[in-house]
């Protein structure tokens, strides 16, 4: 792989230097700052200030009285103590992590296989399949969740009908009235299918883009030397595309960790057993008659910190690849 470190070092933007990497310094010093000023204002107001508020509120009691205008009471670590001793928090965390592991693994494996397949198809066939795959990607999360609830439903649901058609020896019988939303595990199964269906296209298309950038001679050579598809993938394709797989892994983890809309539609705020972290935070804050925004903030802070840790890995990869130059 190319060493991009010099590019990154050059881009660190030392003010006094006359020959920085990408752009020539100009005499109009204030220009770039004026150009990014509106963006900075928007991001500060809508991202940084709210994040600071989450941190602050997680140490406060913010309920109905505070919403009505009373000043927030500081409660120290009480919110954190209360969530860490709440079995529901640990269960939500467990669900979040297990779901992310399952969904990310399936998404990456399926997406990579489809990417490899797209690379081998004729031009016209590849165009058709990628257009189809785009349809899954483009579907808004809210409709995807509703469609999958319908597909897995008990009245007129096509999945139960299909499972019933299959030989009983294979899948067992009695699927007609099988309720896919009766237990958290079943709900999460449907959720996983739904999320994987929506996210494998991005992986497939990215892997395809990576494959197109590989020199064809390498794989040809491996083939001539008698390497099978499996060996060629692990010996050549995967190491060459390692950066792209890393980015895909990190992005998938981030996206699947905070999945909200689909779970909200499929399971709602009443099924506390099926909470993940984001739904748990939301439900503590807005779910009951008594808003508990302080408690919700503590959960949101935990979720944000976990995601920022993963994001740090992503930023590191991007910087190494010279993307931030």
Partner 1 sequence: MNVRRSTAAPRGTARRGEQRGGRRGRRGGRLRAVGLNALGLAVFAVAVFPVAWMVSTAFKPNEEIFSTTPRPLPGSPTLEHFDYVLGGGIAEVSFWTYLRNSALLALTTVLVSGVLAVLAAIAVARFAFRFRTVFLVMLLVVQMVPAEALVLPLFLDLRRLGMIDSLAGLVVVYIGFALPFSIWMLRGFVAAVPRELEEAAAIDGAGPIRTFWTVLLPLIAPGLVATSIFSFITAWNEFIFAFTFLDDQDKYPLPVMMQYFFGNASNEWGPIMASSTLLTLPVIVFFLLVQRRMVSGLTAGAVKG
Q: Where in 107-146 is the site for partner 1 (CB under 8 A)?
A: 114, 117-123, 125-126, 128-129, 131-144, 146
User: How many whole angstroms separate alpha carbon 171 and alpha carbon 163?
Assistant: 7
Residues in contact with partner 1, counted by CB under 8 A, come to a total of 132
Minimum CB separation of residue 294 from partner 1 in Å reads 10
Footprint on residues 149-168 left by partner 1 (CB under 8 A)? 149-151, 153, 155-156, 158, 161
Does 184 help bind partner 1 (rule: CB under 8 A)? no
Residue 156's contacts (CB-CB under 8 Å, 6 or more residues apart) are 150
Strands (E), the chain: 60-61, 73-74
3-state secondary structure of 180: coil
Q: How far is the CB of 48 from partner 1 (least distance, A)?
A: 8
* Cβ nearer to partner 1, comparing 188 with 285: 285
C-beta of 88 vs 141, nearer to partner 1: 141
β-bridge partners, 61:
73
Nearer to partner 1, 184 or 237 (CB): 237
Q: Does 85 bind partner 1 (CB under 8 A)?
A: no
Q: Which of 75, 88, 102, 310 binds partner 1 (CB under 8 A)?
A: 310
CB of 52 to partner 1, least distance (A): 8
Letter string b/e over residues 8-45, b meaning 16 or more CB atoms within 10 A of that residue's CB: bebbeeeeeeeebeeeeeeeeeeeeeeeeeeeeeeeee
190 is a site residue for partner 1 (CB under 8 A): no
The interface with partner 1 within residues 230-289 (CB under 8 A) comprises 240-241, 243-244, 246-248, 251, 254, 257-258, 260-261, 264-265, 268, 278, 281-282, 285-286
Shortest Cβ distance from residue 82 to partner 1 (Å)?
16
Q: Does 187 bind partner 1 (CB under 8 A)?
A: no
Question: Contact between 43 and partner 1 (CB under 8 A)?
Answer: yes
Residue with tokens 């009695």: 174
Number of helices (H) and strands (E) in the chain: give both, helices first.
Answer: 18, 2
Cα–Cα dist 171/127, whole Å: 35
Q: Do 278 and 260 meet the contact criterion of CB atoms below 8 Å apart?
A: yes
52-71 positions binding partner 1, by CB under 8 A:
53-54, 57, 62, 67
Cβ neighbour number for residue 279 with a 10 Å cutoff: 25
Judge contact between 275 and 95, C-beta under 8 A: yes
């Amino acid at each position: 792989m190319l060493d991009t470190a010099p590019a990154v070092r050059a881009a660190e933007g030392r003010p006094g230097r006359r020959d920085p990497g990408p752009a020539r310094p100009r005499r109009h010093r204030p220009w770039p700052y004026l150009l990014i000023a509106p963006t900075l204002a928007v991001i500060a107001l809508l991202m940084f200030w709210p994040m600071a508020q989450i941190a602050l509120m997680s140490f406060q009691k913010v309920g109905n009285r505070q919403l009505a205008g009373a000043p927030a009471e500081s409660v120290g670590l009480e919110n954190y103590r209360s969530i860490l001793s709440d079995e529901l928090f640990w269960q939500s965390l467990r669900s979040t992590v297990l779901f992310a592991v399952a969904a990310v693994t399936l998404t990456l494996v399926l997406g990579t296989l489809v990417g490899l397949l797209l690379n081998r198809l004729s031009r016209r066939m590849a165009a058709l399949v990628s257009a189809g795959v785009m349809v899954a990607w483009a579907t808004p999360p809210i409709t995807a969740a509703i469609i999958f609830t319908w597909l897995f439903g008990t009245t007129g649901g096509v999945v139960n009908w299909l499972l019933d058609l299959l030989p009983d020896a294979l899948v067992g019988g009695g699927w007609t009235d099988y309720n896919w939303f009766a237990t958290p595990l079943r709900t999460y199964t449907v959720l996983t299918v739904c999320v994987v269906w929506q996210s494998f296209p991005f992986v497939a298309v990215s892997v395809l883009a990576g494959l197109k950038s590989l020199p064809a001679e390498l794989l040809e050579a491996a083939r001539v030397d008698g390497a099978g598809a499996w060996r060629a993938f692990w010996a050549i394709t995967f190491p060459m595309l390692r950066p792209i797989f890393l980015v895909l892994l990190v992005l998938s983890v981030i996206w699947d960790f905070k999945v909200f809309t689909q779970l909200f539609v499929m399971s709602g705020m009443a099924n506390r057993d099926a909470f993940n972290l984001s739904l748990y935070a939301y439900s503590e804050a807005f779910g009951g008659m008594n808003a508990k925004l302080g408690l919700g903030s503590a959960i949101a802070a935990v979720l944000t910190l976990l995601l920022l840790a993963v994001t740090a890995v992503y930023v590191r990869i991007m910087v190494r690849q010279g993307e931030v130059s």
